[in-house]
Structure 1
Amino acid sequence: MISVQDWEHTQLLWDYQQMHHEPRPCSVGIGLGSHDLGVADTTVALYRRGMMPLIVFTGATSQTTKGRMPRGEAEHYRDRALELGVPADAILVEPNARNTGQNITLSRSLLEERGIEVSSVLLVSKPYEERRAYATARKLWPEAEFVCASTPMTLSEYVDSIQAPRLVVDMLVGSLQRLLIYPMHGFTVPQEVPGDVTQAYERLVSHGFTSRLVPTDVGTAPVPDA
């Protein structure tokens, strides 16, 4: 069982990860691959609202997606978008990225290869990954403006959709850890983390929500992951 206090701490992490950007028209939309087809659905919804003329879906497979998405996250996202009526010529697929940094750099390279000028990007991710996606993109593609978006939902709604409460808490703890340590390794730009969010993170770690943490052994740089 997850205690009421642990859920209160998790809520703080969830709220912090939301960038609260207002969607606006951008040069391109990039849907970041994951286990969550909701990213594809939200990207399509924004496309229908005229927020971008072109979509890039990016992502290979991971341990958590190879069963559900054997042809790769980006390919399955593309299939979903086609089912929802997006024209094939409005979708590009980047099938090789295995972490958020590669999502950004490989999508950028694909767009450059196609001669597509990009000044702004609507970056679509899972709800609890908005801030890390933004921090990564700002580090690796500083010339572009980034607007973050995700499926509008509450923490409890997301838990219900995943049906794995402890995993959701673990994932939020892991995302916060990466925001704290990745800047020193050059993976992301720094983000100001309020004290109550840091305290909530530390308490959740002390309560054993650690399955999504990356190793931080002295002298060993973490490997960036999804």
Structure 2
Amino acid sequence: MISTQAWDDARHLWDYHQMGHTLRPCSVAIGLGSHDLGVADTAVDLYNRGLAPLLVFTGATSPTTRELMPRGEAIHYRERALELGVPSSAVLVEPQARNTGENIRFSKAVLETAGIPVSSVLLISKPYEERRAYATARKLWPEVEILSASTPMTLGEYVDSIGDAHKVIDMLVGALQRLLIYPEQGFMISQPVPDDVIQAYARLCNEGFTSRLLATDQPSGTRP
């Protein structure tokens, strides 16, 4: 049973992980590979709304997607986009990336090889990965404007779609930890983390929502 306090803390992290950007037309939309085909659906929606003339899907496989997407995350995303009516000429695939940094670096290389000029990017991820994706892209691709996007949904709706509340909260906690420790490791830009978010994160760690945490000497709930 998940306590009322844990749900409140999870909502604090959920809200913080989303950037709340106002979307506008960009040079390209990049969908970051994951277990969630909703990323591809959102990319198609943005394409149909005229917010990007080109889609790039990036991602190989991982232990969590190998069975669900045996041909690779980017390939399955592309197939989904074509199924939804996007012409193949409007979709590029980057099938090698295995983490967020590689998603950005490899997608950038694909676009450069294709000779496509990029001044702005709609970066599409799972809802709780918006801030992490944004911070990574700003570090690795500072010369372009980055707008974060994801499928609009509440924490409750996302939990229902996954079917495992504990797993979702674990993922929220793991994503927050990376925002705390990755900047000093050079993987992303640093961003302010409000005290109430830090406190919510620490309580969730103490409650045992730790399966997605990385090993670190840093005490739970402290800033990097």
Which TM-score band (shorter chain)? over 0.9
- 1:10-25 aligned at under 5 Å gives the runs 10-25=10-25
CA distance in 1 between partners of 2:215 and 2:60 (Å): 23
Offset from partner CA, 1:19-74 (integer Å, 9 cap, x none): 00111100000000000000000000000000011000000000100010001000
CA distance in 2 between partners of 1:217 and 1:82 (Å): 46
Aligned-pair distance for 1:217?
A: 4.2
Aligned-pair distance for 1:186?
A: 0.2
| Residue of structure 2 in register with 1:106 after alignment | 106
Q: Which amino acid aligns with 1:63?
A: P
The TM-score with structure 1 as length reference comes to 0.96
| Residue of structure 2 in register with 1:221 after alignment | none
Aligned-pair distance for 1:216?
A: 1.1
Secondary structure in 1 matching 2:182: helix
CA distance in 2 between partners of 1:151 and 1:93 (Å): 21
Secondary structure in 1 matching 2:77: helix
Matched, 1:200 2:200: yes
Q: Which amino acid aligns with 1:198?
A: I
Matched, 1:97 2:97: yes
Offset from partner CA, 1:92-143 (integer Å, 9 cap, x none): 0000000000000000001001111000000000000000000000000000
| Residue of structure 1 in register with 2:174 after alignment | 174
Secondary structure in 2 matching 1:146: strand
Aligned-pair distance for 1:177?
A: 0.1
The TM-score with structure 2 as length reference comes to 0.96
Q: Which amino acid aligns with 2:191?
A: Q
Secondary structure in 1 matching 2:216: coil
Offset from partner CA, 1:172-191 (integer Å, 9 cap, x none): 00000000000000000001
CA distance in 2 between partners of 1:19 and 1:28 (Å): 19
Q: Which amino acid aligns with 1:15?
A: D
Secondary structure in 1 matching 2:175: helix
| Residue of structure 2 in register with 1:53 after alignment | 53
Structure 2 stretches lacking a partner, 5+ long: 219-224
| Residue of structure 2 in register with 1:183 after alignment | 183
Aligned-pair distance for 1:195?
A: 0.0
| Residue of structure 2 in register with 1:222 after alignment | none
CA distance in 1 between partners of 2:6 and 2:164 (Å): 15
| Residue of structure 2 in register with 1:213 after alignment | 213
- 1:113-124 aligned at under 5 Å gives the runs 113-124=113-124
Secondary structure in 1 matching 2:135: helix
Q: Which amino acid aligns with 2:25?
A: P
Where does structure 1 differ by over 2 angstroms across 4 or more consecutive aligned residues?
Answer: none
Aligned-pair distance for 1:196?
A: 0.2
What is the CA RMSD across the aligned residues, in angstroms? Answer: 0.7
Q: Percent identity?
A: 70
The number of aligned residues is 218
CA distance in 2 between partners of 1:216 and 1:186 (Å): 16
CA distance in 2 between partners of 1:20 and 1:217 (Å): 32
Structure 1 stretches lacking a partner, 5+ long: 219-226
